[in-house]
Structure 1
Amino acid sequence: MRRSIGTTAAIAALALTATACGSDGDDAGSGGDGTVTVTYWDTSNETEAKVFRAVAEEFAEGRDDVEVDYVNIGWDGAQDRFKNAAPTGEAPHVMRTEVAWVSDFASLDYLAPLDGTPAVENQDDYLEQAWASTQYDGTTYAVPQVIDTLALFYNKQLLDEAGVDVPESLTDIQDSVDAFEELEAPFYLRGDDAYWFLPYLYGEGGDLVDADSETVTVDDAAGVAAFQAVQDLLDSGAAITDTTDGWESMMSSFGNGDVAMMINGPWAINDARDAIGAENLGVAPVPAGSAAQGSPQGGWNYGVYAGLGEADMSAAQEFVAYMSSAEVQQRITEELSLLPTRSSVYEAESVAANEMVEFFAPAVEVAHERAWIPQANSLFDPLKEEAEAMLLGRATPEETTAAIADRYRELLDWQ
């Protein structure tokens, strides 16, 4: 059931104290008259932004001491935009940050530590893997908003017609080639985005790096096996790919019925439903490799800018507490079908009955934590570029992983 505006505003008013947002002198707040304006940079897409804006602005309803300046900056380029704004004091009070950006921002002292502040409420309620993405060097620098991962999307009708069960492993996909002889291939393998290679790596028990030992691991036996598994899917005819226009090619191939399966995330559910019909879309955990089943943990967090005065910092922390509360998370799940980061929210009847939660909760449970290091996002370009050479037949799996590893060691100065 959709929570009313009045109810949400009441929650904000009850949960947040008015005295924390104003003080005398230079710390009187960003409004200059005792009123603090919390600037919030939102990185959500167009559909999500309508809900996030409404929720954010309701934080200030019924209050004279605080206002909200909502700014949607989108996702593309947002990481660099915040990094350019922070040194000059032009960063927002609160930033919706991708999970991999937190350690990057924190390492540069652009995010405020949040342990023991009003921003962190009922910490034990957060999913363990979601909370892990908020940590850097033993300190909390963000609060979880939503969590996601990749999963297997499949066309129920095509699997039924072929007499094929939902595959649990990459071997199952390869074994289904003959059953899908009327299709281009059973499976679309996205080859133009490094993030989509991670399930294969985790499936062989590997990883890009080992942050604890500061070691590059992508070129170990598991890493080579992962890229060999990708090559085998293509060589066997079980998969098709495109290294130049992967998203459009993948979505059109799936929508046109040229393939029966693909790997994708929650953000693609509506497009996939529109393409093949909601009744035909199935979602399951990504198929396992030879060693494990898992896909990368994704999601979004709230970070507070470190360069705020006392009144602005207090207001920003209260804003984060409100935006990450169980009540707001439940509303966001009800209206956008995004997965909450608080375990208590999954107990709500409206959330438990949500089809998106039903689809993706099992996949999130086995999602693989990425290395929460400042250079996390910088690991993707070398992976994408070297993998493309393999997909085009210019390199073997061994040569591919060796080339990626060499670039990682230069980037990280690790073994």
Structure 2
Amino acid sequence: MGEAVQRRFTVLTAVVAALGMTATLSGCGGDSGTGDVTLKLVAADYGNSAANSSEKYWSGVAAGFEKEHPGIKIDVSVYSWKDVDRKVAEMVKAGKAPDIAQIGAYADYAKDGKLYSADQMLSIRTQANFLPTLTDAGKVDGTLYGLPFVASTRLLFYNEKLFGQAGLDAPETWDDIQKDATALKAKGVEYPFALPLGQEESQAETLMWLLSNSGGYVDDVGLYDIDSAQNIATFSWLRDNLVGKGLTGPVEPGKLDRAKAFEAFTNGDVGMLNGHPTLMEEAEAKGVKVGMVPLPGAEGPTKGSMGVADWMMGFKQNGNRKAIGDFFDYAYSDENVLAFADEYDLLPVTGSASAEMETDSKHAKLREFLAALPNSQLPPFGKTSWATVSEAIKTNIGDAVAPGGSPERVLGSIAAEATKAEGAE
């Protein structure tokens, strides 16, 4: 993967340089220039304490940018993930939109005409360097508005100590998961397979399982396909073969939030679950040796992982297009992209930074996640209906695997809500 990314980036850079096209597209136009401008930046906090707050990162980036761009100041505000999307929505509604936001969703603002498109802000070099999988997810009606900021993929994690004690090999199929979980339960493991389908993040857990049976939220042309036969079969299998056989632990999946499942894993009480890089680091810091494999599927390992991305965007309201573009070009340097990824054990969103991470031995543990990114599938972030649909999934999906639950009914209800929300776009 890394060689292909690096080769693509190298060739692209050479072509751009040869054509003399590295000047920013944002340099033309009639809006304000870059003198005596203060850009308001609102960002999410990825840290869990004052010591690793994202405010430290953004303050450093702002200071470096201001040094190189006299006359432009960056006013940084960082909020928790619980608050940041709401804060930005309130600012926009009050007519006081930030110039730059780093948050979880962009589509509503793009549809409302409030955002600059990427080619209105960024240099060609910066645009060309984003990983295509991520830019595809950042588009509305074929135009890139959501700039990928940081990414992650998912793998199946297993506790190597518990597996060794039970004499088990890493699972490759759903049948393997059931057999391994049965053996772990017999050994007294509290959560043989932790299945967090509570409200915290179950739209992601759901997508991982759908992909493992060649399903998903949308079909090949981007239309919602939530209650497909494949998706119903997936949740029927979970209900009958994991939950129904008592293999998912003492908390029913619909009431198990991801944070609680992850905490149980780091405490050594979980045999298997779907995890991300940050969990890997947290578990190993507590002495849990983590095995990782691609998500097992109905017939074999899943070919594509679930990907996740968060977004940057530039708001039009204050007319600071040129200054915003200059800041983005600075913020997306390899140095800055890798510094953030390093701090939070996440994946870079650019080809050049990905290639550098892959060849650096200190990132060896992230290589499996990095390798999964180009073929990953992301939720349909470009749909303004996605926020409504995501909430419907989080609220209801646990019922699909409950004793006596009906995956057909639950997925059908969510699909109906998706159709209604899609029609309102």
User: How would you bin the TM-score normalised by the shorter chain?
Assistant: 0.7 to 0.9
Pairing partner for 1:79 from 85, 88, 106 = 85
Deviations 1:25-48 (A, max 9, x none): x9477xxxx421122111132335
Q: Name the CA shift for 1:152/1:237 in 2 (closer, same or farther; >3 Å).
A: same
Q: Contact 1:330–1:345 at 8 Å: present in 2 too?
A: yes
2-structure distance, mates of 1:194, 1:206: 14
| In structure 1, distance between residues paired with 2:153 and 2:265 | 19
1:323 paired residue number: 331
- How far apart, CA to CA, are the structure 1 residues paired with 2:134 and 2:61? 21
Paired position in structure 2 for 1:261? 272
Q: Which of 151, 155, 168 in structure 2 is aligned with 1:151?
A: 155
1:396 correspondence with 2:400: no
Q: Structure 1 residue aligned with 2:172, among 155, 159, 168?
A: 168
User: Which residue of the partner structure matches residue 262 of structure 2?
Assistant: 251
Q: How far off is 1:213 after superposition? A: 6.0
Per-residue displacement from partner, 1:382-405 (whole Å, max 9, x unpaired)?
222322223333522222222222
Deviation at 1:107, TM superposition (A): 0.7
Using the size of structure 2 for normalisation, the TM-score is 0.81
Contact 1:119–1:319 (CA under 8 A) maintained in structure 2: no
Q: Could you say if the C-alpha distance between residues 331 and 350 of structure 1 is closer, same or farther in structure 2, counting changes exceeding 3 Å?
A: farther
Alpha carbons of 1:398 and 1:93: their partners in 2 closer, same or farther (altered >3 Å)? same
Does the alignment pair 1:289 with 2:298?
yes
* TM alignment of 1:3-152, pairs within 5 A: 27=32, 34-46=35-47, 47=52, 49=54, 50-98=56-104, 101-115=105-119, 117-152=121-156
Q: Among 219, 227, 249, which residue is 1:219 paired with?
A: 227
Compare 73-82 and 165-174 and name the one that shifted more: 73-82
Distance 1:396 1:62, change over 3 A: closer
Displacement of 1:362: 2.8
SS in 2 for 1:243: helix
1:387 aligns with 397
Cα distance in 2 for partners of 1:127, 1:254 equals 31
Displacement of 1:325 in angstroms is: 2.1
Contact 2:131 2:374 in 1 (8 A): no
- 1:189 is aligned to 2:226: no
User: Partners in 2 of 1:62 and 1:324 — Cα distance?
Assistant: 15
Contact map agreement 1:211 1:373 (CA 8 A) in 2: no
Q: What residue is the counterpart of 1:314 in the other structure?
A: 322
Distance (whole Å) between structure 2 residues aligned to residue 117 and residue 349 of structure 1: 27
3-state SS of 2:286 partner: helix
1:262-319: CA deviations, max 9, x gaps?
Answer: 1122333333223334xx123332222348444432112220002122xx22111111
Q: Residues 268 and 285 (structure 1 numbering): CA distance in 2 closer, same or farther, change over 3 Å?
A: same
The whole-number CA distance in structure 1 between the counterparts of 2:220 and 2:37 is 40
- Structure 2 residue aligned with 1:3: none
Secondary structure of 2:216 counterpart: coil
Distance of 1:390 and 1:177 partners within structure 2: 20
SS at match of 2:67: coil
Match of 1:299 among 303, 309, 314: 309
- Counterpart in the other structure of 1:273: 284
Q: CA deviation at 1:94?
A: 0.8
Question: What's the CA shift string for 1:143-174, capped at 9, x where partnerless?
Answer: 22211122222212222222222222222111
Q: 1:56 to 1:152 in 2, by over 3 A?
A: farther
CA 90–409 in structure 1, closer or farther in 2 if over 3 Å, else same: same
Mapping 1:234-245, distance limit 5 Å: 234-240=243-249, 241-245=252-256
Compared CA separation, residues 227 and 178, structure 1 to 2 (3 A):
closer
Q: Which amino acid aligns with 2:38?
A: T
The answer to whether the Cα contact below 8 Å between 2:181 and 2:193 also exists between their aligned partners in 1 is no
- Give the aligned residue type for 1:196: E
Aligned residue for 2:414, secondary structure, equals helix
1:368 aligns to 2:377 (yes or no): yes
Q: Answer whether contact 1:198 1:295 (CA < 8 A) is retained.
A: no
**1:200 equivalent among 209, 219, 224:** 209
Any idea what SS the aligned residue of 1:167 has?
coil
Distance 1:87 1:169, change over 3 A: same
* Paired residues of 1:120 and 1:143 also in contact (CA < 8 A): no
* Residue of 201, 215, 230 corresponding to 2:238: 230
Q: Secondary structure at 2:376's aligned position in 1?
A: coil
Partner-residue secondary structure (3-state), 2:295: coil
**What do residues 315-359 of structure 1 show as CA deviations (whole Å, max 9, x unaligned)?**
111111111122322333344432111122233268632144224
How far off its partner does 1:131 sit? 1.4
What letter matches 1:273 in structure 2? E
- The one-letter amino acid of 1:177's match is A
- Residue of structure 2 in register with 1:10 after alignment: none
Alignment coverage as a number of residue pairs: 385
